[in-house]
Amino acid sequence: MSGQNNRRAKGLAVFFLILPLVLFLISLSIGSYGISPRGLFKTVLSVVSPALHPDVPAAYRDILLRIRLPRVLLAMAVGAALSVSGASLQALFKNPLVNEYILGISSGAAFGAALSLVFLGRAFPPQVGGFVFAVVAVGAVLLISGKAESHFISLLLTGIIITAFFSALLSLVEFFASPYVLQALFFWLMGSLSLASWKDLYISLPLIAVGLVILYLLRWRLNVLSMSDEEARSLGVNVRREKMLVIAATTLITAAATAIVGIIGWLGFIVPHLVRMMFGADNRRVVPLSAAMGASIMMIADDIIRGLSSFEIPIGIFTSLVGIPIFLVLLKKTRKVWL
């Protein structure tokens, strides 16, 4: 890479790392009830000191604090979580096609969370059930396909079978759900941010943060883990222990995200690919930039859903419908090998 290309790549990386912060502020202004940037600023100040800004309508504070802030924070966290999870799993399994869905993590988490919502109600955190069954699902995939050393085809086939099994269990849960719960469940399963509440965030955000910090710290190690197991072992890595740590962290963040927003398709697959296309394969760059780009894409998608249509399309459907064509165009335009 020439010096000029290097500088351009660094500039682009800085842009993508700052982008989520800019989008965060823009996203707080967008919605069926528009708040101008000035209004947003005054509303934030009025939250800090209400006495100094009595002219700010109470509705602004309600919209900002109770509806938009949790929703935008959730979009950021889920986007970052799923993208980093995808990037880490692809490196770990030495295959760019792997994601949390293929490993059964998403369907396990969805089943666990649905089971919790239907039988224990919304008072009990669905993240617990989501995490437990996500662990069961990924554990079953790894165990049946030949533990963590498995060949990809065996892993893929086992993943498909386990995903189908948990999908069947999920249908069973839906069968027993009351019509009212079923409607909410149906919308949630398609991937939705509309149910975002502080209660969910208080549980999911710390879990996602813990998982992200672990994977961020392990980002260089992911390079070494992306070598064959024999090579990694010879390089001095405790392969089994470190693989389990990465799988635990990705399962944690996927379960924490899926439990409140349902299954968001393709994000964890597409974002790491986009990052590698632009910035190369080194996970020291791939992990943080996947987090930033995933958060940005989720916020943009949610802004479009909230701002452009009078009804809300579930974001899971939207990310799949928009993400796949964009990915295909980029794939065709970018002729160089990035994998």
Partner 1 sequence: MSIRVTNLAFAFPKFSLRVKELAFESAKVTAIVGPNGAGKTTFLKCVGAVLPTAKGCLFIDGRDIVSLKSQERARLVCYVPQEHDTTFNYTVSDFVLMGRAAYISPFALPSQEDSRAAAEALDFVGLTGYADRAISEISSGERRLVLIARALAQQSDILLMDEPTTFLDPKHEAEVLQLVKKLAAEKMKTILVTLHSLEMAVQHSDQMVFMKRGEVVAHGKSADVFQESLLESVYDMKMKIIDWEGRKIVLR
Which residues contact partner 1 (rule: CB under 8 A)?
Answer: 1, 91, 94-96, 217-221, 223-224, 226-228, 230-239, 242, 245, 276, 280-282, 284, 337-339
- Least distance in Å: CB of 219 to partner 1? 8
Written as one letter, the residue type at 194 is S
Name which of 288 and 314 has its Cβ closer to partner 1: 288
| Burial of 268: CB neighbours in 10 Å, binned 0-12, 13-18, 19+ | buried
- Least distance in Å: CB of 258 to partner 1? 26
- Among 189, 188, 190, 193, which Cα is nearest to 69's? 193
Name which of 12 and 25 has its Cβ closer to partner 1: 12
What is the SS3 string spanning 80-130? HHHHHHHHHHHHHCCCCCCCCCCCCHHHHHHHHHHHHHHHHCCCCCHHHHH
Q: Give just the sign of the alpha carbon dihedral 101, 250, 96, 157.
A: negative
C-alpha–C-alpha distance, residues 173 and 158, integer Å: 23
- Least distance in Å: CB of 230 to partner 1? 5
- Among 300, 310, 321, 245, which Cα is nearest to 79's? 300
- Least distance in Å: CB of 288 to partner 1? 12
- Least distance in Å: CB of 120 to partner 1? 36
C-alpha to C-alpha distances, 338 to 96, 226, 273, 286, 292, nearest whole angstrom = 10, 15, 8, 12, 19
Name which of 169 and 215 has its Cβ closer to partner 1: 215
Name which of 29 and 226 has its Cβ closer to partner 1: 226
- Least distance in Å: CB of 4 to partner 1? 13
Name which of 34 and 236 has its Cβ closer to partner 1: 236
Name which of 118 and 225 has its Cβ closer to partner 1: 225
